[in-house]
A and B are shown apart, each in its own frame.
Chain A
Protein backbone atom coordinates (compact mmCIF):
# COMPACT_ATOMS: atom_id res chain seq x y z
CA UNK A 1 0.00 0.00 0.00
CA UNK A 2 1.29 3.35 -0.88
CA UNK A 3 1.04 5.96 1.81
CA UNK A 4 0.46 9.48 0.82
CA UNK A 5 3.38 11.63 1.79
CA UNK A 6 2.21 14.33 4.18
CA UNK A 7 2.63 17.76 2.72
CA UNK A 8 5.62 19.64 4.02
CA UNK A 9 4.81 23.00 5.66
CA UNK A 10 6.77 24.83 2.98
CA UNK A 11 4.66 23.20 0.27
CA UNK A 12 1.37 24.09 1.95
CA UNK A 13 2.49 27.64 2.43
CA UNK A 14 3.63 27.82 -1.16
CA UNK A 15 0.29 26.50 -2.43
CA UNK A 16 -1.70 28.98 -0.39
CA UNK A 17 0.62 31.77 -1.41
CA UNK A 18 0.47 30.84 -5.09
CA UNK A 19 -3.34 30.67 -5.09
CA UNK A 20 -3.59 34.02 -3.41
CA UNK A 21 -0.96 35.52 -5.65
CA UNK A 22 -2.42 34.15 -8.83
CA UNK A 23 -5.95 35.32 -8.20
CA UNK A 24 -5.22 39.02 -8.08
CA UNK A 25 -2.17 41.14 -8.34
CA UNK A 26 -1.52 44.68 -9.37
CA UNK A 27 0.57 45.00 -12.47
CA UNK A 28 3.96 46.62 -12.61
CA UNK A 29 2.42 49.66 -14.28
CA UNK A 30 0.02 50.09 -11.37
CA UNK A 31 -3.13 48.96 -13.17
CA UNK A 32 -5.23 46.05 -11.91
CA UNK A 33 -5.17 42.77 -13.76
CA UNK A 34 -7.91 42.67 -16.35
CA UNK A 35 -8.57 46.41 -16.11
CA UNK A 36 -9.75 47.62 -19.47
CA UNK A 37 -9.43 51.21 -20.67
CA UNK A 38 -12.34 53.64 -20.86
CA UNK A 39 -13.08 54.31 -24.51
CA UNK A 40 -14.22 57.73 -25.66
CA UNK A 41 -15.67 58.29 -29.11
CA UNK A 42 -16.75 61.78 -30.00
CA UNK A 43 -17.69 63.49 -33.23
CA UNK A 44 -19.10 66.71 -34.61
CA UNK A 45 -21.30 66.52 -37.67
CA UNK A 46 -22.12 69.40 -39.99
CA UNK A 47 -24.89 68.82 -42.52
CA UNK A 48 -26.03 71.50 -44.95
CA UNK A 49 -28.55 71.26 -47.75
CA UNK A 50 -28.71 73.45 -50.85
CA UNK A 51 -31.19 76.24 -51.54
CA UNK A 52 -31.35 77.46 -47.97
CA UNK A 53 -32.70 74.16 -46.70
CA UNK A 54 -31.80 72.27 -43.55
CA UNK A 55 -28.62 72.94 -41.63
CA UNK A 56 -27.71 70.55 -38.83
CA UNK A 57 -24.89 70.73 -36.31
CA UNK A 58 -24.66 67.55 -34.27
CA UNK A 59 -22.14 66.77 -31.55
CA UNK A 60 -22.00 63.18 -30.30
CA UNK A 61 -20.22 61.81 -27.24
CA UNK A 62 -19.95 58.11 -26.50
CA UNK A 63 -18.25 56.40 -23.57
CA UNK A 64 -17.64 52.69 -23.38
CA UNK A 65 -16.21 50.61 -20.54
CA UNK A 66 -15.37 46.94 -20.48
CA UNK A 67 -15.57 45.71 -16.91
CA UNK A 68 -13.47 42.67 -17.77
CA UNK A 69 -14.37 39.57 -19.75
CA UNK A 70 -16.36 41.57 -22.32
CA UNK A 71 -18.98 42.90 -19.90
CA UNK A 72 -19.49 46.25 -21.57
CA UNK A 73 -21.47 49.37 -20.70
CA UNK A 74 -21.93 51.88 -23.50
CA UNK A 75 -23.44 55.33 -23.14
CA UNK A 76 -24.08 57.92 -25.84
CA UNK A 77 -25.30 61.50 -25.84
CA UNK A 78 -26.35 63.31 -29.02
CA UNK A 79 -27.38 66.92 -29.43
CA UNK A 80 -28.94 67.79 -32.74
CA UNK A 81 -29.58 71.39 -33.70
CA UNK A 82 -31.54 71.93 -36.89
CA UNK A 83 -32.39 75.14 -38.67
CA UNK A 84 -33.05 76.30 -42.19
CA UNK A 85 -36.03 75.86 -44.40
CA UNK A 86 -37.92 72.63 -44.84
CA UNK A 87 -40.43 71.93 -47.67
CA UNK A 88 -44.03 71.99 -46.47
CA UNK A 89 -45.38 69.64 -49.16
CA UNK A 90 -47.08 72.22 -51.39
CA UNK A 91 -45.79 72.60 -54.93
CA UNK A 92 -44.52 75.77 -56.65
CA UNK A 93 -47.05 77.99 -58.34
CA UNK A 94 -47.03 80.83 -60.88
CA UNK A 95 -48.48 83.15 -58.22
CA UNK A 96 -47.00 83.96 -54.80
CA UNK A 97 -48.23 81.72 -51.97
CA UNK A 98 -48.62 82.56 -48.30
CA UNK A 99 -48.57 80.03 -45.47
CA UNK A 100 -48.63 80.15 -41.70
CA UNK A 101 -45.72 78.72 -39.78
CA UNK A 102 -46.88 75.61 -37.84
CA UNK A 103 -46.42 77.36 -34.51
CA UNK A 104 -49.19 79.78 -35.52
CA UNK A 105 -52.55 79.22 -33.93
CA UNK A 106 -54.40 81.08 -36.65
CA UNK A 107 -54.01 81.54 -40.41
CA UNK A 108 -55.21 85.11 -40.32
CA UNK A 109 -54.20 87.71 -37.75
CA UNK A 110 -56.70 87.66 -34.89
CA UNK A 111 -56.49 89.11 -31.39
CA UNK A 112 -55.33 86.54 -28.86
CA UNK A 113 -53.88 84.30 -31.57
CA UNK A 114 -50.34 83.93 -32.83
CA UNK A 115 -49.81 84.27 -36.57
CA UNK A 116 -46.45 83.94 -38.26
CA UNK A 117 -46.79 84.05 -42.02
CA UNK A 118 -44.30 83.51 -44.78
CA UNK A 119 -44.69 84.21 -48.49
CA UNK A 120 -43.14 82.18 -51.28
CA UNK A 121 -42.16 83.83 -54.59
CA UNK A 122 -43.66 82.49 -57.84
CA UNK A 123 -41.90 79.38 -59.08
CA UNK A 124 -40.15 78.71 -55.76
CA UNK A 125 -40.59 75.55 -53.73
CA UNK A 126 -42.72 76.36 -50.68
CA UNK A 127 -40.65 75.88 -47.57
CA UNK A 128 -40.98 77.17 -44.04
CA UNK A 129 -37.94 79.34 -43.22
CA UNK A 130 -38.74 79.42 -39.51
CA UNK A 131 -37.82 75.81 -38.94
CA UNK A 132 -35.67 75.51 -35.84
CA UNK A 133 -35.33 72.47 -33.66
CA UNK A 134 -33.05 71.05 -31.02
CA UNK A 135 -33.06 67.38 -30.14
CA UNK A 136 -31.24 65.70 -27.27
CA UNK A 137 -30.92 61.93 -27.31
CA UNK A 138 -29.25 59.43 -25.00
CA UNK A 139 -28.60 55.72 -25.26
CA UNK A 140 -27.40 53.26 -22.65
CA UNK A 141 -26.50 49.67 -23.55
CA UNK A 142 -25.17 46.67 -21.69
CA UNK A 143 -23.76 43.52 -23.19
CA UNK A 144 -22.08 40.50 -21.66
CA UNK A 145 -21.18 36.93 -22.50
CA UNK A 146 -23.24 34.07 -21.10
CA UNK A 147 -21.16 30.92 -20.91
CA UNK A 148 -18.54 30.31 -23.58
CA UNK A 149 -20.67 30.66 -26.70
CA UNK A 150 -23.47 33.12 -26.01
CA UNK A 151 -23.94 36.76 -25.32
CA UNK A 152 -26.83 38.89 -24.26
CA UNK A 153 -27.45 42.62 -24.62
CA UNK A 154 -30.09 45.11 -23.69
CA UNK A 155 -30.46 48.85 -23.68
CA UNK A 156 -32.63 51.89 -23.71
CA UNK A 157 -32.96 55.07 -25.65
CA UNK A 158 -34.58 58.36 -24.88
CA UNK A 159 -34.80 61.52 -26.94
CA UNK A 160 -36.68 64.74 -26.70
CA UNK A 161 -37.26 67.78 -28.83
CA UNK A 162 -39.83 70.53 -28.75
CA UNK A 163 -42.46 68.60 -30.68
CA UNK A 164 -41.44 64.96 -30.26
CA UNK A 165 -40.44 62.65 -27.42
CA UNK A 166 -39.30 59.10 -27.86
CA UNK A 167 -38.46 56.25 -25.50
CA UNK A 168 -37.31 52.83 -26.63
CA UNK A 169 -35.86 49.62 -25.23
CA UNK A 170 -34.27 46.62 -26.86
CA UNK A 171 -32.93 43.23 -25.89
CA UNK A 172 -30.99 40.66 -27.84
CA UNK A 173 -29.00 37.49 -27.62
CA UNK A 174 -26.54 35.66 -29.81
CA UNK A 175 -25.09 32.16 -29.99
CA UNK A 176 -21.80 31.04 -31.55
CA UNK A 177 -21.21 27.58 -32.94
CA UNK A 178 -19.20 25.76 -35.62
CA UNK A 179 -15.96 26.63 -33.82
CA UNK A 180 -17.24 30.24 -33.57
CA UNK A 181 -17.49 30.45 -37.34
CA UNK A 182 -21.25 30.93 -37.21
CA UNK A 183 -23.27 33.24 -34.99
CA UNK A 184 -27.04 33.47 -34.86
CA UNK A 185 -28.62 36.44 -33.19
CA UNK A 186 -32.08 37.70 -32.41
CA UNK A 187 -33.32 40.91 -30.88
CA UNK A 188 -36.56 42.69 -30.17
CA UNK A 189 -37.27 46.35 -29.65
CA UNK A 190 -40.15 48.48 -28.53
CA UNK A 191 -40.54 52.22 -29.06
CA UNK A 192 -43.11 54.67 -27.81
CA UNK A 193 -43.35 58.21 -29.19
CA UNK A 194 -45.39 61.27 -28.42
CA UNK A 195 -46.00 63.86 -31.11
CA UNK A 196 -47.05 67.32 -29.99
CA UNK A 197 -46.51 69.58 -32.98
CA UNK A 198 -45.85 73.29 -32.68
CA UNK A 199 -49.23 74.93 -32.62
CA UNK A 200 -51.00 71.58 -32.18
CA UNK A 201 -51.47 68.52 -34.39
CA UNK A 202 -53.75 69.36 -37.33
CA UNK A 203 -56.78 67.24 -38.08
CA UNK A 204 -55.44 64.77 -40.63
CA UNK A 205 -56.67 65.30 -44.18
CA UNK A 206 -58.55 68.45 -43.22
CA UNK A 207 -58.78 71.64 -45.22
CA UNK A 208 -55.79 73.87 -44.52
CA UNK A 209 -57.88 77.05 -44.42
CA UNK A 210 -59.95 75.66 -41.56
CA UNK A 211 -56.71 75.31 -39.56
CA UNK A 212 -58.17 72.94 -37.05
CA UNK A 213 -55.73 71.61 -34.51
CA UNK A 214 -55.93 69.00 -31.78
CA UNK A 215 -53.83 67.83 -28.88
CA UNK A 216 -50.85 65.50 -28.88
CA UNK A 217 -50.87 62.04 -30.40
CA UNK A 218 -48.81 58.92 -29.84
CA UNK A 219 -47.34 56.14 -31.86
CA UNK A 220 -45.55 52.91 -31.07
CA UNK A 221 -43.14 50.72 -33.00
CA UNK A 222 -42.44 47.05 -32.27
CA UNK A 223 -39.61 45.35 -34.08
CA UNK A 224 -37.66 42.14 -34.28
CA UNK A 225 -34.47 41.10 -35.98
CA UNK A 226 -32.83 37.77 -36.71
CA UNK A 227 -29.31 37.60 -37.98
CA UNK A 228 -26.69 35.17 -39.12
CA UNK A 229 -22.98 35.92 -39.21
CA UNK A 230 -20.66 33.53 -40.97
CA UNK A 231 -16.89 33.44 -41.28
CA UNK A 232 -16.38 32.51 -44.92
CA UNK A 233 -12.61 32.65 -45.22
CA UNK A 234 -9.68 33.86 -43.17
CA UNK A 235 -10.22 37.30 -44.69
CA UNK A 236 -13.98 37.33 -45.34
CA UNK A 237 -16.84 37.76 -42.93
CA UNK A 238 -20.47 37.99 -43.96
CA UNK A 239 -23.69 38.84 -42.14
CA UNK A 240 -27.32 38.55 -43.13
CA UNK A 241 -30.12 40.20 -41.12
CA UNK A 242 -33.87 40.06 -41.50
CA UNK A 243 -35.84 42.81 -39.79
CA UNK A 244 -39.57 43.14 -39.30
CA UNK A 245 -41.22 46.09 -37.66
CA UNK A 246 -44.69 47.41 -37.21
CA UNK A 247 -45.63 50.98 -36.39
CA UNK A 248 -49.03 52.05 -35.23
CA UNK A 249 -50.64 55.24 -34.11
CA UNK A 250 -50.11 58.74 -35.41
CA UNK A 251 -47.80 58.27 -38.41
CA UNK A 252 -48.73 61.46 -40.24
CA UNK A 253 -46.36 64.40 -40.51
CA UNK A 254 -48.19 67.24 -38.71
CA UNK A 255 -46.51 69.97 -40.75
CA UNK A 256 -47.10 68.76 -44.28
CA UNK A 257 -49.82 69.83 -46.65
CA UNK A 258 -50.73 69.12 -50.25
CA UNK A 259 -51.70 71.58 -52.95
CA UNK A 260 -55.21 71.02 -54.32
CA UNK A 261 -55.43 71.80 -58.04
CA UNK A 262 -58.20 71.97 -60.61
CA UNK A 263 -58.11 70.20 -63.99
CA UNK A 264 -55.83 72.86 -65.51
CA UNK A 265 -53.44 72.89 -62.58
CA UNK A 266 -54.66 76.08 -60.91
CA UNK A 267 -54.46 76.19 -57.14
CA UNK A 268 -57.82 75.87 -55.36
CA UNK A 269 -56.57 75.29 -51.82
CA UNK A 270 -54.52 73.06 -49.58
CA UNK A 271 -55.15 70.00 -47.46
CA UNK A 272 -53.29 68.51 -44.55
CA UNK A 273 -51.80 65.14 -45.32
CA UNK A 274 -53.18 61.91 -43.91
CA UNK A 275 -51.30 58.65 -43.61
CA UNK A 276 -52.55 55.21 -42.52
CA UNK A 277 -52.26 54.47 -38.83
CA UNK A 278 -50.28 51.28 -39.33
CA UNK A 279 -47.13 50.50 -41.25
CA UNK A 280 -45.33 47.14 -41.53
CA UNK A 281 -41.78 47.10 -42.83
CA UNK A 282 -39.39 44.30 -43.69
CA UNK A 283 -35.78 44.46 -44.71
CA UNK A 284 -33.08 42.04 -45.69
CA UNK A 285 -29.58 43.36 -45.06
CA UNK A 286 -26.44 41.65 -46.27
CA UNK A 287 -23.00 42.97 -45.37
CA UNK A 288 -19.50 41.71 -46.16
CA UNK A 289 -16.11 42.53 -44.73
CA UNK A 290 -13.23 41.54 -46.94
CA UNK A 291 -9.54 42.10 -46.19
CA UNK A 292 -7.18 42.36 -49.13
CA UNK A 293 -3.83 42.71 -47.43
CA UNK A 294 -4.01 45.81 -45.23
CA UNK A 295 -6.99 47.13 -47.22
CA UNK A 296 -10.50 46.36 -46.01
CA UNK A 297 -13.66 46.45 -48.12
CA UNK A 298 -17.05 46.85 -46.46
CA UNK A 299 -19.81 46.10 -48.95
CA UNK A 300 -23.49 45.84 -48.16
CA UNK A 301 -26.85 45.52 -49.85
CA UNK A 302 -30.26 46.11 -48.29
CA UNK A 303 -33.67 45.40 -49.75
CA UNK A 304 -36.71 46.92 -48.06
CA UNK A 305 -40.44 46.59 -48.55
CA UNK A 306 -43.35 47.96 -46.59
CA UNK A 307 -47.11 48.04 -46.38
CA UNK A 308 -47.24 51.56 -47.79
CA UNK A 309 -45.93 50.20 -51.09
CA UNK A 310 -42.43 51.61 -50.76
CA UNK A 311 -39.66 49.29 -52.00
CA UNK A 312 -36.05 50.26 -51.65
CA UNK A 313 -32.59 49.06 -52.60
CA UNK A 314 -29.38 50.26 -51.00
CA UNK A 315 -25.81 49.45 -51.99
CA UNK A 316 -23.11 50.80 -49.68
CA UNK A 317 -19.34 50.43 -50.01
CA UNK A 318 -16.39 51.62 -47.93
CA UNK A 319 -12.79 50.89 -48.84
CA UNK A 320 -10.26 51.39 -46.10
CA UNK A 321 -6.85 52.00 -47.61
CA UNK A 322 -3.97 51.78 -45.19
CA UNK A 323 -1.37 54.50 -45.79
CA UNK A 324 1.12 53.28 -43.22
CA UNK A 325 2.34 55.13 -40.11
CA UNK A 326 -1.10 54.85 -38.54
CA UNK A 327 -2.93 56.73 -41.31
CA UNK A 328 -5.70 55.57 -43.56
CA UNK A 329 -7.95 56.91 -46.28
CA UNK A 330 -11.46 55.61 -46.72
CA UNK A 331 -13.46 56.43 -49.83
CA UNK A 332 -17.17 55.79 -49.56
CA UNK A 333 -19.92 55.32 -52.14
CA UNK A 334 -23.60 54.68 -51.53
CA UNK A 335 -26.40 54.26 -53.98
CA UNK A 336 -30.06 54.25 -52.93
CA UNK A 337 -33.33 53.92 -54.76
CA UNK A 338 -36.90 53.93 -53.49
CA UNK A 339 -40.33 53.66 -55.08
CA UNK A 340 -43.10 56.06 -54.07
CA UNK A 341 -45.65 55.23 -51.40
CA UNK A 342 -49.09 54.14 -52.67
CA UNK A 343 -50.74 57.29 -51.38
CA UNK A 344 -47.99 59.67 -52.48
CA UNK A 345 -48.65 62.28 -55.12
CA UNK A 346 -47.18 65.65 -55.99
CA UNK A 347 -50.59 67.29 -55.50
CA UNK A 348 -54.29 66.53 -55.03
CA UNK A 349 -56.96 66.90 -57.63
CA UNK A 350 -59.94 69.08 -56.66
CA UNK A 351 -62.25 66.90 -58.73
CA UNK A 352 -63.86 63.96 -56.96
CA UNK A 353 -63.72 63.01 -53.31
CA UNK A 354 -60.47 63.39 -51.41
CA UNK A 355 -58.66 60.05 -51.14
CA UNK A 356 -58.47 58.29 -47.76
CA UNK A 357 -54.72 58.72 -47.50
CA UNK A 358 -52.48 61.28 -49.15
CA UNK A 359 -49.07 62.81 -48.79
CA UNK A 360 -46.74 64.95 -50.87
CA UNK A 361 -43.82 64.48 -48.47
CA UNK A 362 -40.67 64.21 -50.65
CA UNK A 363 -39.40 61.47 -48.32
CA UNK A 364 -42.21 59.21 -49.55
CA UNK A 365 -41.65 60.00 -53.22
CA UNK A 366 -39.85 57.82 -55.74
CA UNK A 367 -36.25 58.91 -56.10
CA UNK A 368 -32.74 57.70 -56.37
CA UNK A 369 -29.93 59.04 -54.26
CA UNK A 370 -26.17 58.78 -54.19
CA UNK A 371 -23.45 59.59 -51.71
CA UNK A 372 -19.76 60.04 -52.39
CA UNK A 373 -17.37 60.60 -49.56
CA UNK A 374 -13.82 60.43 -48.31
CA UNK A 375 -12.50 59.94 -44.79
CA UNK A 376 -8.96 60.54 -43.61
CA UNK A 377 -7.67 59.34 -40.26
CA UNK A 378 -4.50 59.49 -38.22
CA UNK A 379 -4.01 57.11 -35.30
CA UNK A 380 -1.35 56.66 -32.65
CA UNK A 381 -0.92 53.15 -31.31
CA UNK A 382 -4.17 51.43 -30.44
CA UNK A 383 -5.30 54.16 -28.13
CA UNK A 384 -6.15 57.18 -30.21
CA UNK A 385 -7.41 58.33 -33.57
CA UNK A 386 -8.42 61.62 -35.16
CA UNK A 387 -10.46 61.58 -38.32
CA UNK A 388 -12.26 63.86 -40.73
CA UNK A 389 -14.76 62.91 -43.38
CA UNK A 390 -16.45 64.77 -46.17
CA UNK A 391 -19.52 63.47 -48.01
CA UNK A 392 -21.86 64.75 -50.65
CA UNK A 393 -25.43 63.46 -50.79
CA UNK A 394 -27.80 63.95 -53.73
CA UNK A 395 -31.44 63.03 -54.16
CA UNK A 396 -33.08 62.97 -57.60
CA UNK A 397 -36.86 62.55 -57.49
CA UNK A 398 -38.44 60.71 -60.42
CA UNK A 399 -41.61 62.83 -60.54
CA UNK A 400 -40.61 66.46 -60.91
CA UNK A 401 -42.95 67.95 -63.45
CA UNK A 402 -46.52 67.85 -64.64
CA UNK A 403 -48.17 68.14 -68.03
CA UNK A 404 -50.95 70.33 -66.62
CA UNK A 405 -50.95 73.74 -68.38
CA UNK A 406 -50.67 75.86 -65.23
CA UNK A 407 -47.66 73.88 -64.08
CA UNK A 408 -45.69 73.92 -67.30
CA UNK A 409 -42.02 74.67 -66.78
CA UNK A 410 -42.16 74.38 -62.99
CA UNK A 411 -39.81 72.10 -61.07
CA UNK A 412 -42.28 70.56 -58.62
CA UNK A 413 -39.84 68.53 -56.56
CA UNK A 414 -36.28 69.80 -57.04
CA UNK A 415 -33.17 67.72 -56.53
CA UNK A 416 -31.73 67.78 -53.05
CA UNK A 417 -28.03 68.23 -52.48
CA UNK A 418 -26.28 68.16 -49.12
CA UNK A 419 -22.71 68.60 -47.96
CA UNK A 420 -21.59 66.71 -44.89
CA UNK A 421 -18.44 67.27 -42.86
CA UNK A 422 -17.61 65.28 -39.75
CA UNK A 423 -14.72 65.50 -37.32
CA UNK A 424 -14.10 62.55 -35.03
CA UNK A 425 -11.87 61.64 -32.13
CA UNK A 426 -11.35 58.20 -30.60
CA UNK A 427 -9.39 57.92 -27.38
CA UNK A 428 -8.67 55.19 -24.83
CA UNK A 429 -7.82 56.11 -21.27
Chain B
Protein backbone atom coordinates (compact mmCIF):
# COMPACT_ATOMS: atom_id res chain seq x y z
CA UNK B 1 0.00 0.00 0.00
CA UNK B 2 1.41 3.37 -0.94
CA UNK B 3 1.36 5.30 2.29
CA UNK B 4 2.58 8.41 0.55
CA UNK B 5 -0.78 10.01 -0.02
CA UNK B 6 -1.65 12.34 2.85
CA UNK B 7 -5.16 10.96 3.21
CA UNK B 8 -3.89 7.37 3.41
CA UNK B 9 -1.37 8.28 6.07
CA UNK B 10 -4.02 9.97 8.16
CA UNK B 11 -6.37 7.04 7.63
CA UNK B 12 -3.75 4.56 8.80
CA UNK B 13 -3.18 6.67 11.90
CA UNK B 14 -6.88 6.72 12.74
CA UNK B 15 -7.19 2.95 12.21
CA UNK B 16 -4.24 2.26 14.49
CA UNK B 17 -5.70 4.61 17.08
CA UNK B 18 -8.99 2.72 16.99
CA UNK B 19 -7.32 -0.67 17.34
CA UNK B 20 -5.06 0.40 20.16
CA UNK B 21 -8.03 1.71 22.16
CA UNK B 22 -9.11 -1.87 22.95
CA UNK B 23 -9.84 -2.18 26.64
CA UNK B 24 -8.49 -5.73 26.68
CA UNK B 25 -4.97 -4.36 26.49
CA UNK B 26 -3.25 -3.05 29.55
CA UNK B 27 -2.61 -3.86 33.18
CA UNK B 28 -4.42 -3.45 36.47
CA UNK B 29 -3.86 -0.14 38.25
CA UNK B 30 -1.78 -1.88 40.92
CA UNK B 31 0.55 -3.43 38.34
CA UNK B 32 2.43 -0.28 37.36
CA UNK B 33 5.64 -1.10 39.20
CA UNK B 34 7.75 -1.34 36.00
CA UNK B 35 6.01 1.50 34.17
CA UNK B 36 6.59 3.79 37.15
CA UNK B 37 10.38 3.52 36.85
CA UNK B 38 11.83 6.85 35.61
CA UNK B 39 13.65 5.14 32.73
CA UNK B 40 10.31 3.81 31.44
CA UNK B 41 8.93 7.30 30.94
CA UNK B 42 8.50 8.26 27.30
CA UNK B 43 10.58 11.39 27.90
CA UNK B 44 13.19 9.73 30.15
CA UNK B 45 16.09 11.85 28.87
CA UNK B 46 14.53 15.16 27.80
CA UNK B 47 17.83 17.02 27.39
CA UNK B 48 19.35 14.30 25.18
CA UNK B 49 16.17 14.19 23.11
CA UNK B 50 16.04 17.98 22.71
CA UNK B 51 19.72 18.23 21.70
CA UNK B 52 19.36 15.34 19.25
CA UNK B 53 16.23 16.91 17.77
CA UNK B 54 18.13 20.15 17.29
CA UNK B 55 21.03 18.43 15.49
CA UNK B 56 18.74 16.46 13.17
CA UNK B 57 16.53 19.48 12.51
CA UNK B 58 19.63 21.35 11.32
CA UNK B 59 20.93 18.56 9.14
CA UNK B 60 17.86 16.77 7.82
CA UNK B 61 14.58 17.68 6.16
CA UNK B 62 12.24 15.81 8.52
CA UNK B 63 11.80 16.82 12.14
CA UNK B 64 9.79 16.35 15.29
CA UNK B 65 6.96 13.88 15.90
CA UNK B 66 7.35 13.45 19.62
CA UNK B 67 5.03 14.36 22.43
CA UNK B 68 4.71 13.19 26.00
CA UNK B 69 1.85 11.67 27.95
CA UNK B 70 0.65 8.37 29.35
CA UNK B 71 2.25 5.35 30.98
CA UNK B 72 4.09 5.99 34.21
CA UNK B 73 2.72 5.08 37.60
CA UNK B 74 -0.82 6.18 36.78
CA UNK B 75 -1.09 7.88 40.14
CA UNK B 76 -3.33 10.83 41.01
Interface residues of chain A, those whose CB is within 8 Å of chain B, are 41-43, 45, 47, 58, 60, 62, 69-70, 76, 80, 145, 148, 151, 172, 174, 176, 178-185, 187, 225-235, 237-245, 280-285, 287, 289, 291, 296, 298, 302-306, 308, 310-312, 314, 320, 336, 338, 341, 363-364, 369, 375, 382, 389, 393, 395, 416, 418, 420, 422, 424
Contacts and interface: CB of A to CB of B under 8 A. Distances in A.
B10 A282 contact: yes
Interface string B18-44: 001101011111010111011111101
B61 A422 contact: no
Given A181-B27, A228-B17, A242-B13, A60 B51 contact: yes
A174 B12 contact: no
Contacts of A418: 55
A420 B51 CA distance: 11
A241 B29 contact: no
Give the 10 A-B CB pairs with smallest separation, nearest first. Answer: A229-B70, A181-B26, A183-B70, A285-B65, A180-B74, A312-B62, A304-B62, A242-B13, A237-B71, A174-B69
A421 to B, nearest CB: 11
A282 B6 contact: yes
A43 B67 CA distance: 21
A60 B70 contact: no
Contact of B67 (A58, A227, A234, A395): A227
Contacts of A62: 46-47
Given A60-B50, A228-B16, 5 more contacts: A231-B25, A240-B20, A302-B65, A312-B61, A393-B55
B61 A185 contact: no
B4 interface: yes
Interface residues of B, number: 50
Nearest to A363: B61
Contact of A230 (B13, B26, B62): B26
A311 B16 CA distance: 21
Contacts of B42: 229, 237, 239, 287, 289
Contact of B70 (A145, A176, A304, A416): A176
Contacts of B31: 234
Nearest to B4: A305
Contacts of B59: 363, 369, 393, 395, 416
A49 B32 CA distance: 43
Contact of B27 (A41, A234, A244): A234
B3 interface: yes
A376 to B, nearest CB: 13
Nearest to A377: B45
A303 B3 contact: yes
Contacts of A312: 60-62
Given A287-B42, A289-B42, A310-B61, A282 B9 contact: yes
Contacts of A341: 61
A237 B65 contact: no
A296 B40 contact: yes
Interface of B: 3-4, 6, 9-10, 12-13, 16-17, 20-21, 23, 25-29, 31, 33-35, 37-42, 44, 46-48, 50-51, 54-56, 58-62, 64-67, 69-71, 74, 76
- Max chain A C-beta neighbours (<10 A), residue from B38, B60, B61, B71: B61
A283 B34 contact: no
A229 B69 contact: yes
A172 B64 contact: no
Nearest to A309: B4
A231 B27 contact: yes
Contacts of A43: 47-48, 51
A411 B67 CA distance: 39
A227 B66 CA distance: 9
B37 A291 contact: yes
B1 to A, nearest CB: 12
A241 B34 contact: no
Contact of A338 (B40, B44, B61): B61
Contacts of B51: 43, 45, 58, 60, 422
B55 to A, nearest CB: 6
Contacts of B76: 69-70, 145, 148
B26 A364 contact: no
- Max chain B C-beta neighbours (<10 A), residue from A242, A280, A306: A242
B67 A185 contact: yes
A369 B55 CA distance: 13
- Max chain B C-beta neighbours (<10 A), residue from A225, A289, A303, A308: A289
Contact of B44 (A231, A298, A311): A298
Nearest to A80: B54
B59 to A, nearest CB: 6
